[in-house]
Chains A and B, each alone.
Chain A
Amino acid sequence: MTITAVFYLLAAFTVAAGLGVVLSTNVLHSALALMGTLLGVAAMFVLLGADFVGVVQLLVYVGGILVLTLFAVMLTSRVDVRVSNRSVGTLPALVVVLAVLTTMVRAILATAWVAGEPAAPKPTVYGIGNAFLGGYVLPFEIASLVLLVALIGAVVVSRKEVKE
Chain B
Amino acid sequence: MGALSLQHFLVLSAILFCLGLFCVLTRRNAIGILMGIELILNSANLNYVAFARYNGSAYDGQIFAIFVIMLAAAEAAIGLAIVLGIYQGFETIEVEATDRLRG
A interface residues, Cβ below 8 angstroms from B: 1, 3-4, 7, 11, 14-15, 18-19, 21-22, 27, 30-31, 34, 37-38, 41, 44-45, 47-50, 52-53, 56-57, 60-61, 64-65, 68-69, 71-73, 75-76, 84-90, 92-94, 96-98, 100-101, 104-105, 108-109, 113-119, 124, 127-128, 131-132, 136, 139, 143, 146-147, 150-151, 153-155, 157-158, 160-161
Contact = CB atoms under 8 A, between A and B. Distances in A.
Interface in B55-94: 55-56, 58-60, 62-63, 65-67, 69-78, 80-85, 87-88, 93-94
A41 B85 CA distance: 31
Contact of A108 (B1, B10, B74, B76): B10
A22 B22 contact: yes
B54 A115 contact: yes
Nearest to B8: A7
B19 A50 contact: no
Given A65-B73, A124-B59, A153-B78, A76 B83 contact: yes
Nearest to B83: A72
26 contacts: A11-B8, A15-B16, A18-B15, A18-B20, A18-B39, A21-B36, A21-B39, A22-B36, A31-B31, A31-B35, A37-B39, A41-B42, A44-B9, A52-B62, A71-B80, A75-B87, A86-B29, A93-B26, A109-B11, A113-B54, A115-B6, A115-B55, A117-B56, A131-B63, A147-B73, A157-B84
B76 A21 contact: no
Interface string B7-33: 111111011111111110111110110
Contacts of B36: 21-22
Interface of B: 1-12, 14-23, 25-29, 31-32, 34-36, 38-39, 42, 45-46, 49-50, 52-56, 58-60, 62-63, 65-67, 69-78, 80-85, 87-88, 93-94
Given A53-B66, A60-B70, A158-B85, A72 B31 contact: yes
B84 to A, nearest CB: 5
B56 A124 contact: no
B87 A76 contact: yes
Interface of B is mostly: helix
Given A4-B1, A48-B50, A132-B63, A97 B21 contact: yes
